Amino acid sequence: MKSSVRLTAHGADIAARWKPVQNAAEEAWRTKTGDGLRACLEQVVSQLPLEHPHYPASYGPADASITGGNGADWKAVPRAPCDTVSFLPGSALLSQAIVAFAMEYEKRSRFAFALATGVIQRVPPEGRPVRGLGHAPGISALVRHGFVRLSGAGAGQTISLTAAGAAVFAAHDDRVRAVETDWRQAFGPARIDALRRALEAIC
């Protein structure tokens, strides 16, 4: 028996509002970077061997990594031998680049790229308030696995790195540079330098 999924009225309303919001965001990027960011992303993404998600997605709620144990129970989608980029919104192109970068990062580390950048790298040696950090499920997982510790309660709760978390923090930049080095070899240094400059312009 085939199952089907349909949008509720609320979902349909969000879907209708999404396109103008997406277009406005892309126009804001274009204002800052011209067509440079999109051109760089198209050049890189078109050369990726796999078609990656059009929004950054981890393996699942219990695993923030991209591949979840090297993708043992999911099937990769090979990139088609045709134009797979020119019709995509900029957000989908950026997502595919981020996912590809995260996969390369996670080959060098069993630690999820999303948690390394979204939590660990945002906690200074002296610690910081949890408020404003976000990533509540990720923080809970990091506490459970001994990478961070929480103290206090409510609005005054703070987060600090354990020795294991500090080790991830210390190794992060080297791992990122290693991926960038590989990408410079794979896609050409000029192309990756241009992509970096375009991304920095919107940060």
- Domain boundary assignment for the chain: 14-202
| DSSP annotation string for 127-169 | -EESTTT--HHHHHHHHHTTSEEEES-GGG-EEEE-HHHHHHH
Q: Architecture of 14-202 per CATH?
A: Orthogonal Bundle (1.10)
SS3 content of the chain, % helix, strand, coil (to 5): 60, 5, 35
Tell me what pLDDT residue 135 has: 65
Tell me what pLDDT residue 72 has: 60
Tell me what pLDDT residue 1 has: 66
CA dihedral 154, 155, 160, 162 (to 10 degrees): 10
- Contact indicator for 112, 157 with CB cutoff of 8 Å: no
Burial class (CB in 10 A: 0-12, 13-18, 19+), 120: buried
Q: What is the mean pLDDT of each run of 10 residues along the chain (203 residues)?
A: 87 91 89 88 96 84 72 78 94 95 91 92 94 81 93 90 97 96 96 92 81
- For CA atoms 45, 47, 53, 54, the dihedral sign is positive
Tell me what pLDDT residue 29 has: 86
Tell me what pLDDT residue 173 has: 96
Tell me what pLDDT residue 76 has: 84
pTM of the model: 0.86
Tell me what pLDDT residue 2 has: 77
